[in-house]
């Protein structure tokens, strides 16, 4: 048996997991894309802030209900954790 097979298998598994997570949780890289997200969207910013868009200009930091403005002040890239358009 090839000694490298476990390493190759593990590498492929890591890549497949990363691809599946990226598909399930899109990343926002521009302020325009962040601004286009609807109210109710939950994101994780590059600095780790988890926030929900409240209205066209405000967001709320989850965990301490701290509002902030403008919504586009979040540090990019931001990962979409929940998008109200994708729920049924």
- What pLDDT score was predicted for residue 87? 66
User: DSSP class of residue 67?
Assistant: E
Residue 44 lies in a domain: yes
Q: Is the pLDDT of residue 18 over 70?
A: no
| 19-36 pLDDT, tens digit each | 666 667 899 999 999 999
| 52-80 pLDDT, tens digit each | 999 999 999 998 878 999 999 999 999 99
- Supply the range of the domain harboring residue 72: 26-86
Residue 14 lies in a domain: no
Residue 65 lies in a domain: yes
How many domains is the chain partitioned into structurally? 1
- What pLDDT score was predicted for residue 9? 77
| 3-16 pLDDT, tens digit each | 787 787 777 777 77
Residue 2 lies in a domain: no
How far apart (Å, rounded) are the C-alpha atoms in residues 17 and 56? 34
- What pLDDT score was predicted for residue 84? 94
């Amino acid at each position: 048996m090839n000694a490298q097979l476990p390493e190759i298998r593990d590498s492929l598994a890591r890549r497949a997991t990363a691809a599946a997570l990226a598909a399930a949780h899109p990343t926002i890289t521009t302020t325009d894309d962040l601004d286009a997200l609807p109210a109710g969207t939950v994101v994780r910013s590059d600095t780790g802030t988890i926030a929900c868009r409240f209205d066209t200009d405000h967001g709320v930091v989850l965990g301490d209900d701290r509002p902030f403005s403008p919504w586009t002040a979040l540090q990019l890239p931001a990962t979409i954790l929940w998008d109200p358009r994708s729920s049924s």
